[in-house]
Amino acid sequence: MIPPAEPTDLAPDDEAPIGATTVTLAPHPRRAERGADKYPVVALCGSAGSLDALEKFFAHLPPQPGVAFVVVVHRLPNPSANSQLTEVVQSFTALPVAEAYDGLRVLPNQVYVIPPDADLSLLHGSLFLLKPTQPSSRRQPIDFFLQTLAKDVGERAVCIILSGVGTDGSLGLKLVMESFGMVMVQTPESAAFDGMARAALATEFVDFVLPPELMAAQLLDYLAHPLTSRPLREPGEGALPSQPLHALQKIFLLIRTQTGHDFSFYKRNTVFRRIERRMNSHQIREFSHYVRYLQENPGEVDQLFHELLIGVTKFFRDAEAFESLKGYLRPLLAAKTPDSTVRVWAPGCSTGEEAYSLAMVIFECLDELAPNHHLKVQIFATDISPVGVALARAGQYTESIVADVSPDRLARFFQKIDAGYQIRKEVRDVVVFALHNLNKDAPFIRLDLLVCRNLLIYLSGELQRSLLPIFHYALNPLGLLFLGPSENMTGFHDLFQPLDVKWKISRRTATAALLPQLIKFPFSLGPQAAAALPAAALMSTAVSTHRQGGPFAALVQRALLSAYSPPAVVIDGKGEILYINGRTGRYLEPAPGLSGMNLFEMARADLNFEISGAVHRALQSRENVVVENVRVKTDAGQQQLRLTVRHLVEYEQLAGLLLVVFEDQPTSRKERLSKRTPSPPDGRQQDAMLEALSRELHYTKHRLQSTVEEMESSLEELKSTNEELQSANEELQSTNEEAMTNKEEMQSLNEELMTLNMQYLAKTEELSQSANDMKNLLDATEIAIVFLDNDLVIKRFTSPVGHIISLMPSDVGRPLAHFASNLRYEHLLRDVQQVLDRLTGLETNIQTLKGEWYTMRVLPYRSLDNYINGVVITFTDITALKVLEAQVQEANRFSASLAETMREPLLALDADLRVHSANRAFAAAFQENAADLVGRSLGALSDGAWNQPALFRQLLLLLDASSPVTEFDDLVLDATFPRLGPCRVRLYGRRMLYQGEPTGRVLLGVQALEGLASSKQPPGQ
């Protein structure tokens, strides 16, 4: 489609109204700069019944629509059977129509038709034909063309699905959607065959659903709408208009509030295009209006969320890439120890096709290993879409996958179902699907393979830079990373060694020094959002929120301390300064050289002795020390001060620290000034100086002596302790690293356990539902069923069993032999054991002591894996059937007895006019053996003498239940009987009924039998 952000130079009078039938696209000046081939390409796709839809579509198309049309329909392989398609399409439109051939340039205002027995593709604006590699029953020419169309023209691609059978096109339209193209589908009600339309609608990636006569107007309106409604925004432009940007943040907020997912770290341009698609679908031009529409329609938020998560995937996407992956997987699998586990993670799995493709590839690689080299496979496939994860777990796909999956893989890894194909259970069991968000959830770790294809391209560069080190951390040494063809590892080439540059297959390197600085748990970047708020807003919020105490009180106390408290420093036992309060420049100054923040090194020369002594005495005595009248030379002259060293014991966090306070004392102006100008010292001053020096020397000697004694006593201890500390330090360092690693692994394992828990919960729900269905099914059948294991121990039974065997719910787990049955049958256990030994079913009719009859069936209990886990015994009540059978037998005996007592010859005939029974009078009259007559056809009796059309017509009328005729009398037949000769027989017939209903039998009786030689009557008719 035409880029929606591109401006138009159309005058207001040239704008086409929304919904107009005809929209004329005026030439755009920037279009000439980009090239003359930047026009939309519309694929008209269909099969059976699509000609009628094409006729209606072209009938409502203007003469110069400004787009190119490619008709892709299912055609027979025989060219002669399709030779008229081009002429037929030409009769629908005034646009030139041509059959495609290799190298044909696609131009606007022209129509191109796919030739028979060829796959059509588009490359650099030209059509090319390929010989089909699939049989005609498995070909998907529409999907094939739509894939090439989406790759070649991108956002200018338009896919229109018309009438047709099958699911062809449902995969290709997803790729068109992924490339920001437009998808339109014919309404199923207007289609002659709605299979393709319904398959396309099932993908939920459809923009418009219209009848063919309305498609042309909507198509042109959609193509013209972006050009005439919004300002210029180039696809690669970084700066976005402020108003749409604010609206975009509001849209992100609405999506996060309703779904819990934050899309602010997705590429802005991609998100903008998805939102514009939804706006175009609702004919909304302003972003602010769309925000209001989202607020009023929560369902649209879900639709937009689904739009942003468009899951375009298929089996073995880029088949050459999977073949290359197998080449690197084989040595990786061969290097693993037997019975170990192959762990794979596939984030962004969508509906599961890629995850199952990985499972198939791994199974094929494992088949090539040594027979005794068994490996377990565990694939974690994750996504943030609950719908996609649910579809992936089911593993059911339409028949269109035959175009992507080879027949061998289809036979091995799939089973045919009514709706298409389903992944076999052994493949589904190795793939665990779960909801997982790369932005905030911990990764899966200890992986051999990580596959993240066509996901990073939708994420911002900041999020990509956070994820790639995580991928490195999650992989085992020499683990493989498999990215999409459009993705790269910019800035992290030292973490992965490229193996296949074309298909982005890399191996994890041993670089680990960068990981502590790169890996950040969790991945949520929420603090940055707060940092983006204005500082004034944050300050006002903080003051208004915390004025009652907390931060507000702490700020006030800090202001008071800085204004009214004396200068002070907090030090540790070694004199290292940990905190400075007030202005200490008059007492401390930085020491020359590469010194640190040590109080003894920074103290001025006049204070060095006093500070050192006071601190030492405070540490030795563990009491506070105060030194009065300490003199220090400042820029203003001599200054007296009080030096206080106090232990901080008020708070546990400050234990062991010292507070050194410098308090200025009043000093006369004369004394300060007298010290400024040096004067010759007199005798008293010299004596005072000598006394001070003597005191300092005495103190220094005393301290030196004690220090030497302490050092000598602790020297040996320090030597041994130093060695122990060095070893302990190394151990602690390694332990710390292991603890950090274990912490991250525990976090990842916790996420993995949560994923497995979700999987188990889903399985538990399925099992519960199946158990409920099974219970209701067994209760509804009212059949007595007993399940036994291989030791003939009761596992389960239904309530009707109590009429046959006295069982209670507490009897589960007890052998069947412990219970007596109400059956007149002594071989129940023998029959059950026989079925278990021979694995062949057994069926017999048995009777209870109360006279009830049951049909007992004993069958082996087979698991889904075809293992024998016991037997199943079913008892079906046939008491009513037995009673009816007895009544019928009694009636038959009564009828036979009655017929034998009749003096008239009688025959009972079944529905096939065969003799069911004959009385002795009939056998005597015609000199036949009564036993030989049973089962014989009436027409074959007496060498065909009874084969009379008039007789058969009457008998068939009696057998017809819908006929009102139920009897006949005085039917005269002339026939020659072998033992009697020519005779005239007068017959009557009756339909035999039971309780007023036909039984399917008739009664034929002889009224009179006369020889023709003595008869004077006229022949019968």
Q: Which two tokens stand for residue 59?
A: 């009938």
Which range has highest mean pLDDT (217-231, 843-857, 1005-1019)? 843-857
Same domain, yes or no: 491 and 592: no
Domain membership of residue 399 (yes or no) is yes
The DSSP string of 81-108 is GTTTHHHHHHTT-SS-EEE--TTEEP-T
Last residue of a domain, one of 277, 308, 339: 308
Same domain, yes or no: 210 and 286: no
Same domain, yes or no: 908 and 862: no
Q: Which two tokens stand for residue 775?
A: 């219970």
In the prediction, which pLDDT does 37 show?
A: 59
Last residue of a domain, one of 250, 285, 308: 308
Domain membership of residue 756 (yes or no) is no
Interval 618-637 mean pLDDT: 83
CATH number, domain containing residue 825: 3.30.450.20
In the prediction, which pLDDT does 532 show?
A: 35
| Full domain range(s) for residue 445 | 319-519
Same domain, yes or no: 337 and 464: yes
- For residue 934, what is the DSSP state? T
Same domain, yes or no: 213 and 360: no
Domain membership of residue 681 (yes or no) is no
Tens digit of pLDDT for each residue in 375-394? 999 999 998 888 888 889 98
pLDDT-based confidence at 608, cuts 50/70/90? confident
Domain membership of residue 830 (yes or no) is yes
Same domain, yes or no: 461 and 336: yes
What share of the chain has pLDDT > 70, as a percent? Answer: 83
Same domain, yes or no: 356 and 487: yes
Phi, psi of 703 (to 5 degrees): -70, -40
pLDDT higher at 742 or 425: 425
Interval 173-201 mean pLDDT: 88
Same domain, yes or no: 339 and 471: yes
pLDDT higher at 161 or 248: 161
Same domain, yes or no: 332 and 473: yes
Same domain, yes or no: 332 and 429: yes
- For residue 811, what is the DSSP state? G
Tens digit of pLDDT for each residue in 26-69? 333 333 333 335 789 999 999 878 889 999 999 999 888 989 99
Same domain, yes or no: 824 and 874: yes
Domain membership of residue 699 (yes or no) is no
Tens digit of pLDDT for each residue in 964-1018? 888 998 888 888 888 888 998 899 998 888 777 888 889 889 888 887 754 444 4
> Comparing C-alpha atoms, which of 905, 911, 892, 989 is closest to residue 942?
905
Tens digit of pLDDT for each residue in 73-101? 987 655 544 457 888 899 899 899 999 99
In the prediction, which pLDDT does 240 show?
A: 44
Do 473 and 745 touch, CB atoms closer than 8 A? no
Q: For residue 839, is pLDDT > 70?
A: yes
In the prediction, which pLDDT does 939 show?
A: 85
Q: For residues 597 and 591, what is the distance between their CA atoms, to the nearest angstrom?
A: 9
Question: Structurally, how many domains does the chain consist of?
Answer: 6
Domain membership of residue 352 (yes or no) is yes
In the prediction, which pLDDT does 683 show?
A: 63
Residue type, 316: F
Same domain, yes or no: 621 and 514: no
Q: For residue 315, is pLDDT > 70?
A: yes
In the prediction, which pLDDT does 185 show?
A: 93
Distance of CA 248 to the CA centre of its chain: 27
CATH number, domain containing residue 447: 3.40.50.150
Mean pLDDT of the chain: 79
Contacts of 449 (CB under 8 A, 6+ apart): 329, 332, 342, 343, 344, 345, 358, 479, 480, 482
Domain membership of residue 571 (yes or no) is yes
Q: Are strands 104-105 and 126-130 parallel, antiparallel or unpaired?
A: antiparallel
Lowest-confidence segment of 10-19, 384-393, 423-432, 785-794 by average pLDDT: 10-19
Q: For residues 597 and 588, what is the distance between their CA atoms, to the nearest angstrom?
A: 10
In the prediction, which pLDDT does 588 show?
A: 86
Peptide bond into 522 cis (omega under 30): yes
CATH number, domain containing residue 156: 3.40.50.180
Domain membership of residue 851 (yes or no) is yes
Q: For residues 811 and 818, what is the distance between their CA atoms, to the nearest angstrom?
A: 10
Query: Can you name the residues that pair with 641 across neighbouring β-strands?
Result: 630, 664
Last residue of a domain, one of 288, 308, 328: 308
Interval 707-730 mean pLDDT: 78
Q: For residue 515, is pLDDT > 80?
A: no
**What pTM value is reported for the model?**
0.50
Interval 189-202 mean pLDDT: 88
Interval 246-250 mean pLDDT: 77
